[in-house]
Amino acid sequence: MTPSSTPAPAAPGASHPASHPSGPVRRLTARGRDEAHRVSSPLELLFDLSFVVAVSQAGVQLVHAVSAGHPGTGVLNYAMVFFAIWWAWMNFSWFASAYDNDDVLYRVVTLVQIAGVLVLAAGVSRAFEQHDYMTVWLGYVIMRLAMATQWLRAARTAEGTERRAALRYAGGVLLCQVGWAGLVVLPQPARPWVFLVMAVAEMCVPLLAERDHQTSWHPHHIAERYGLFTIIVLGETIASATVAVKSAVDEHSALGELLPIAAGGLLIVFSAWWIYFVVPIHGHLRSGGRAFLWGYGHYLIFSSAAAIGAGLEVAVEEAVGTAHISATAASAAVTLPTALYLLTVWALHARHFKVGAAQQLVLPVTALLVLCCTFLGGWSVLAAGLVCAAAVATGVTLTARTTRRERTADAGPAAG
C-alpha cells in the first residue's frame, strides 16, 4: 500500500486481526501505525531474551581484556561485537513493529533468527581472543537470510512505494551481508576498517529504503521494545556484578572492600533505570527523522549500560588483587560507561522533557561529577552511585516544583 492508503486507526479496545488467526499462513501486510493497545508479543520477548546470552558473552570478554591490562583492544572488540548484537536486534524490532502478523511462517522464520543469535553468541569469545569472526559471521548469515525472507514476504503483498521500500530493505540486507565477509577473508589489520565501512553501510540501508515510504512502525510499541531491552541489559549488569561479588567473597573474604562496590553498583543501576523510564518518549517518535536518530543513538545507551556491569566486575577483581590494573583504571571501568550512559540518555531521551536550565543541567553535571569520582580510589564506585542517586532526587524535586508552579498558575485565572 502507499502512504496515502494507511489503514484507519483501530477503535479503542479493538484487536489487530493478527491476534485472531484465520489460517496458519496469512498475507504479511502492514499494521496500523495508530493501532490501539499495541504491546510486545511473547515471541518478541523470547527474541529479546535470546540476546542476553550474546550481551553476557561480550561483557565477559570485555572484563577479561580490561583486567589483563588491554583496555584499548578490549573496548574496540566490544564495540564491534556489540554493534553486531544491537543491529540484529534493531532490524527485527522495527520490522516486527510494522509487519508482525503472527502466523506460522512468521513465527518459524523468527525462531530461525533466534538460532542465529545463539550461533553469534557462541562465536563472541573467539572474536575477542583470536580475532576469528567466522562463527559470528555465520550467525549473522542465519539471521540476515531470515530477515531478508521477511522483507520479501512483505514485498510480495505490498504495492507502489511500500513494495519498493521492502525490496530495498531485502536487497540492502543481503548486500551488506556479503560485505561483512571481509571480517573473515581479509587480514586482521584490515578488519577494523571493514567494520567501520560496513557499520556505516548498514545504517544507511533504512535511510535509503524509507526514502519514499516510511514503514508503519508503532511509536508506542517501539518505545516499549527499546525500554524492555534496556531493562534486559541493566538486568544483565546486576547479574554479572552479583556473580563477581559472590565469587570474590567466597574466595577472598574481602567483604570490606566489596560492600562499597556492591552498594554503589546497585545505586548506579537503579538510577539508570529511573532516569531512562521517567519520560514518556513515545510521543517524541512520531517524526521519522527523530525516530532514526533516537533508535541509532541507543547503540551507545545499550552498550554503555552493559559495560557498567563489566566495569563492576573489573572493580571487584581489582579490589581482591586479581586484576593487573591500577585502582584508578578499575574505577574508570565503571565511571566512564556510567557517564556515557547519562549523557546519551540526556541527549536522545530526557532533554526533550526538561523545563528550564536547572532541569536541563542535572544529567550533564551528574556525568561530570561521576567522572570526577574516578580518582577516589576504593570508594569511587560508591561515590558514583551516590552522585547518580542524588541526580534522581534532584530531578524529582525540580519536576515537582515545576508542576506545582504550573498548577498554581492555572488555578490563578480560574480563581479570579
Residue whose cell numbers read 521492502: 166
Whole-prediction pTM: 0.86
**pLDDT the model gives residue 33:** 80
Extract long-range pairs of 62-65: CB within 8 Å, 24+ residues apart: 62/307, 62/310, 63/240, 63/310, 63/313, 63/314, 63/317, 64/128, 65/128
Residue type, 338: T
Distance CA 305, CA 380 (A): 18
Where b means 16+ CB within 10 Å and e means fewer, 186-211 reads: eeeeebeebbeebbeebbebbeebbe
SS (H, E, C) 300-363: HHHHHHHHHHHHHHHHHHHHCCCCCCCHHHHHHHHHHHHHHHHHHHHHHHHHHHCCHHHHHHHH
**pLDDT the model gives residue 2:** 33
**pLDDT the model gives residue 15:** 39
Pick the closest to residue 244 from 257, 231, 230, 228 (CA basis).
Answer: 257
**pLDDT the model gives residue 411:** 58
Distance CA 179, CA 84 (A): 13
38 phi, psi to nearest 5 deg: -80, 120
| Contact criterion met (CB below 8 Å) for 274 and 329 | no
Pick the closest to residue 18 from 45, 3, 34, 38 (CA basis).
Answer: 38
Distance CA 63, CA 45 (A): 27
Per-residue pLDDT of the chain (416 residues; tens, 9 = 90+): 333 333 333 333 333 444 445 668 888 888 888 888 888 899 999 999 999 888 988 998 999 999 888 888 889 889 989 999 999 999 999 999 999 988 899 999 999 999 999 999 999 988 888 888 999 999 999 999 999 999 999 999 888 999 999 999 999 999 999 999 998 999 888 888 999 999 999 999 999 998 888 888 888 899 899 999 999 999 888 887 787 777 767 766 667 778 888 889 889 999 999 999 887 776 667 665 678 888 899 999 999 999 999 999 999 888 888 888 898 999 999 999 999 999 999 988 777 666 677 778 889 999 999 999 999 988 899 999 999 999 999 988 887 777 677 666 655 554 44
Sign of the four-CA dihedral 163, 168, 169, 170: positive
Domain 220-411, classified CATH 1.20.1410, yes or no: yes
Question: For the chain, which residues make up each domain, given as ranges?
Answer: 39-217, 220-411
| Contact criterion met (CB below 8 Å) for 355 and 334 | no
Residue type, 146: A
Pick the closest to residue 300 from 94, 78, 53 (CA basis).
Answer: 78
Cell representation of residue 174: 543481503
Number of helices (H), then strands (E), in the chain: 14, 0
Distance CA 261, CA 257 (A): 7
